[in-house]
Amino acid sequence: MNRIDERFKTLKEQNKKAFIAYICGGDPSLDDTEKIVYALEDAGCDVIELGIPFSDPLADGPVIQEASVRSITNGFKLDKFFEVVKDIRKNSQLPLVTMVYYSTIFGYGREKFIENCISSGLDGLIVPDLPYEEYDEISYLIENTGLYLIPLISVTSHNRIPMLVEKARGFIYCVSSLGVTGERKSFDNRIYEYITSVKEKTEVPVCIGFGISKKEDVDKFGRYADGVIVGSAIVRKIFEGKGDLEKVKSFIKEIK
């Protein structure tokens, strides 16, 4: 069983919801990324999403864009990223998902990228700029491997929802609002109807992200979804903490 499945099964048995944390790989360095993963696990995160930095991250707001620039400037390399994931796997069985833009996969080599995802111990893959109609660019490499391709669904997906969830595994990433990632003061007022609509069409856990940054957000969306995803707020805390991971852990515990 995939680690994601195992974690959601355990959470359901305990009547709990998943807390998923996003961090930008290589910010401030890849060695720090490994330490941050352990700190987030210790703070109670259920799944960690490791972002692979990209020079033009179309789905990301300024906080994650700036983190990507710092990571690339500091010498981020994909081969080293996979080595770090392997090192993490020696010490942790926490579910790990990577978010990556398709240009990175294509440039690195599709077969090589997927092989390294599997051999390093990643559990899931999120590709925000790969539409469903083009999943076959990589889906044939993933079938029967245990690596999950996690779909993104937006509040405007409407009639596409049944198609998008049909082959979903692990969890479904529901985008909370139109636009890019980043902390928000308000959300689309259609969001609860939208989450309910997705949950009616699948047995796969439904998680919601983009803009969730406060305990109030976590509490609110946790009543409807199976998990919440917090990204920009954590990335900002890591940057502001300048290596003090206790501050990051305190933030996680506070909003979780």
75-142-152 Cα angle (round to 5): 75
Question: Cα separations (Å) of 214 from 11, 218, 222?
Answer: 21, 6, 12
Choice among 5, 60, 123, 188 that is catalytic:
60
Residue 134 token pair: 């083009």
Residue 166 token pair: 């049909």
Catalytic residue list contains 193: no
Choice among 5, 32, 46, 49 that is catalytic:
49
Catalytic residue list contains 60: yes
Burial 212-225 (b: 16+ CB within 10 A, else e): bbbeebbebbbebb
- CA dihedral sign, ordered 136, 80, 150, 187: negative
> Are the CB atoms for 124 and 75 separated by under 8 Å?
no
CA distance 164 to 219: 27
As annotated, the active-site residues are 49, 60
